[in-house]
A and B are shown apart, each in its own frame.
Chain A
Amino acid sequence: MVGNSETISYVDNGKLCQFHGGLILEHHKCESMARPLARPLLPEYLRVSLRLNRGNVSKPVVETGDKVLKGQVIAVPDTPRGVYVHAPTSGIIMEITQRPVASPDADLAPVVCIRPDGKDQWTPRQAVAEPFSLSRQELVQRIREAGIVGMGGAGFPTHLKYQKPAELLIINGAECEPYISCDERLMLDYPHELLQGTRLLMHASGAKEAIIAIEDQVGRVRSVLEKIIREKHYPGIRVVKVPTIYPAGGEKQLIKVLTCQEVPSGGIPMDLGIVVQNTGTAKAVRDAIVEGTPLIQRFVTVTGDVVGEPRNFEALIGTPFRHLLSLAKTDDERLHRLVVGGPMMGYAMPEVGTGIDKTSNCLLALSEEITRHHGPLMPCIRCGECVNVCPQELLPHQLHWYIKGENLEMAREHHVFDCIECGACAWVCPSQIKLVDYYRYAKAELRYLDYKKAKAERAREQHEKHDRRLERLKAERAARRKRHTQRLKDPASARENIAATLERLKQKPAPNRAGEPASISPEGDKSKDNTAETTDNPESSNRTETTPSGKDNNPA
């Protein structure tokens, strides 16, 4: 289906493509890049979420009061799509409770609270000396056991991207949201590790080519990486600068820019033979294989207009927001909104006690002034600016119109499921409409309706099957009765029949007398029907208990 040699030849020519629309936003990354990376002191407690952004919940394998070592597994997945969770440091499990986790609606999910013992004592680790001698399957298995997920924001379990061999690996270092600089910091501070991780992922995916995509505004990154590639003779890895246009770092847009191809609607990059992975993920893979370190820490940018010393931290998973905010000298008085992620797609958290999770790339602490809208909420004036900027080439205002009128099927017809929720439309809207909220609602609602419809459909099928069965039984019964009456009408056979019956009665004890003719009476057949019905029922209810599954359409 895909001529992948062609996929790559575009980049060889140095030709980049453009996606439709997009925004040019103020960069605001220099603030946090001005300071070096910091490793925070151990916080008083860690709150490790057992649920990923939109993913499955893992099952805890520790209990309150248990002592755990750094890197020890504390929760295991119960589906192939789930992830392992490890203790970020050694300490004691204080409690496992439902708490709001870092997620768009601050949903409640199980959270393991660990009190560090300060020793940071490791559980034995399994480093691999010769990682390239591992088979692809072994590599992917180790990635899974290290609990690695996409660290750009969507948190898709990494091992699931390597079920099939790919042709091209794209390492996404082009964080397009303003303010977030953790990718740039990582590429500058850990270039060797990043490249090693890239090579391991090439090995895992079977891709002969890899592109490390960076923004054209990040200063030295390219020369640093290219120098190492040259010196170490890493084959097949190229560093490509992409224009800083929001959302160039979105998976679909990045693929378009680099390869001039579009991921089919409703599809995944693998449909083009491409795997896209965030820089942080590449490093995490390297750490997992080369050091045997599971994913227990990540780079996180702490910035915003009320942060006194914006910078990047390499923080343990579960580190409370509060801890990082105070290390970055945040002005608590002026803090009005705390966003996890960037200003375009991030989500505001109701409290500062929550811990960062594997996908938290940025804490953005904002004052009231900067978050204020510049006009009142108005009806859509159809100015069309949202249409001009939508990178997915949708009609955001029409979607809004139909969803507002609860005309969800029209929203589907207008391709609501192709929306990547980048928020470009909402940002330009002069009427200040929270457009993305409408699309999320419509998607969730449509998925639910589809699920219900499928369920009803199955129920109907079951019902029809059941009806057909009744029909058949009825026909059989009628036939039988007909045969019987015919036999009775025919005097010879009737006499024979009566004689036979009398004969049988003579041989059997009295109580059966009433029961015998029942076998040919309608009542007898009815009881049979009833059993048919009851055996049918549990089957049908079992089969319909499936849950709807939606595709994650998020840009990295």
Chain B
Amino acid sequence: MKLSIESAPHIPRPISVQKVMGLVILALVPALLAHWWFFGPGILVQVILAVGFALAFEAAMLKARQVPLKPFLTDLSAVLTGILFALCVPPLAPWWIALLGMFFAIVVAKQLYGGIGNNIFNPAMLGFAVMLIAFPREMSNWLAPRDIAIHMPGLWETLQHIFTGGLSQSQVAYDTLTQATPLDTIKNGLRQGQALSEIRSQPVFGDFGGMGWEWIANWYAIGGLFLWRQRIITWHVPAAVILTTIAFSLPFFLYDSDVFLSPLQHLFSGGTLLGAFFIATDPVTGSSTPRGKLIFGAGVAILMILIRQFGTFPDGVAFSVLLMNSAAPLIDRLTIPKPYGTKGQRHG
């Protein structure tokens, strides 16, 4: 009889990378559905495109790097990257945005750094940031949310627009479909010297953030809480992002509420909650010590607010995450916890 002499644990726990990634994807489903509801079927097409390109690039790169395809293609990490990217791009963005975005995400940010676990920058955010810089127009043409939209594009119109860039068969003018995002609206309004209270009276705004947007944000938060309950993420990063966002934006807001966004507007606009629960919590590119996670989350929030208020881009989540990504190794080094038996003992 041949006995196995593998080392402990002898009764492994039913957990795998695939399962972890799968749970994260599951937690995103409610927000995806909300997105669909408010902005039409564009998000589904974007998800399919991004995931498809992500897997194709992943497979090609794995082949080129001569690593086994199966475990790495089925780990769902590329799928997750695709979904996160799709959630950030406008629903009617042309198909090549997903192609180029995934090229930078999977090939440049992930595989060239050595594949899963070795990348320094969050792949989805790197892909998104490059697209935002290179194609600002395509990346900011959002749709009007359901409640104020004159017309909700159907699946056919959506496909047409994504793949041909026009709406030849339709009587609806492209301009009536699209609408700047709430944060874009604010940025432009402020540039033109409008007061925030004035800007905010436009229909695109809801109770806290943007109309529709705030609901999607809610679902991100609920999905995030699910992940916390499942022990996939810890409370540190989301708590740090949320509390720092409030604490850091409040003094500005109190100083001049016509120029500076309210803490709630910050929280429920753009990618704040997606970032807090799903992007800044990306384990590979974030800090991994408990104290480091708090610093990381706080840094993301502060940079995000600074970019939103003083930078040229309307939203700053992607850039702030990427900036903090590059600081993560240093943060980790500086926050090594003190192990058992090295802390201030009760007795000298």
Residue ranges of A at the interface with B (Cβ–Cβ < 8 Å):
1-3, 6, 19-20, 106, 178, 252, 256, 260-267, 332, 335-339, 343-352, 364, 366, 368, 370-385, 387-388, 391-395, 397-398, 413-415, 418, 423, 426-432, 434, 436-437
Contact = CB atoms under 8 A, between A and B. Distances in A.
Contacts of A339: 8, 10
B193 interface: no
B294 to A, nearest CB: 13
Ranked nearest first, the 4 interchain pairs of A and B with the lowest CB-CB distance are: A375-B16, A379-B117, A376-B71, A265-B341
Nearest to B232: A383
Contacts, number: 188
A338 B3 contact: yes
A493 to B, nearest CB: 70
A252 B341 CA distance: 9
Interface of B: 1, 3-20, 70-72, 75, 77, 115-118, 231-232, 234, 283-284, 286, 288-290, 293, 332, 336-343, 345-348
A393 B117 contact: no
Contact of B10 (A3, A106, A343, A381): A343
Contacts of B75: 378
A309 to B, nearest CB: 20
A345 B5 CA distance: 13
Contacts of B345: 261-262, 264
Contacts of A260: 346
Nearest to B289: A395
A379 B231 contact: no
B11 A384 contact: no
Given A260-B346, A378-B71, A384-B288, A19 B11 contact: no
Nearest to B20: A430
A374 B12 contact: yes
B343 A378 contact: no
B8 A436 contact: yes
Contacts of B342: 264-265, 415, 418
Contacts of B10: 337, 339, 343-344, 346, 348, 364, 366, 371
Contact of B6 (A252, A348, A397, A428): A348
Given A427-B12, A428-B13, A430-B15, A394 B288 contact: no
A414 B336 contact: yes
B341 A263 contact: yes
A1 B347 contact: yes
Contact of B347 (A2, A332, A346, A392): A2
Given A375-B19, A383-B20, 12 more contacts: A263-B340, A336-B3, A348-B4, A375-B17, A377-B71, A378-B17, A378-B71, A378-B117, A383-B283, A397-B288, A423-B8, A430-B15
Contacts of A20: 340
A377 B6 CA distance: 13
A434 B10 CA distance: 11
12 contacts: A1-B347, A264-B341, A348-B6, A374-B12, A375-B19, A375-B71, A379-B118, A381-B283, A388-B231, A392-B341, A395-B288, A415-B342
B3 A6 contact: no
Contacts of A264: 341-342, 345
B11 A343 contact: yes
Contact of B5 (A350, A376, A382): A350
A352 B5 CA distance: 12
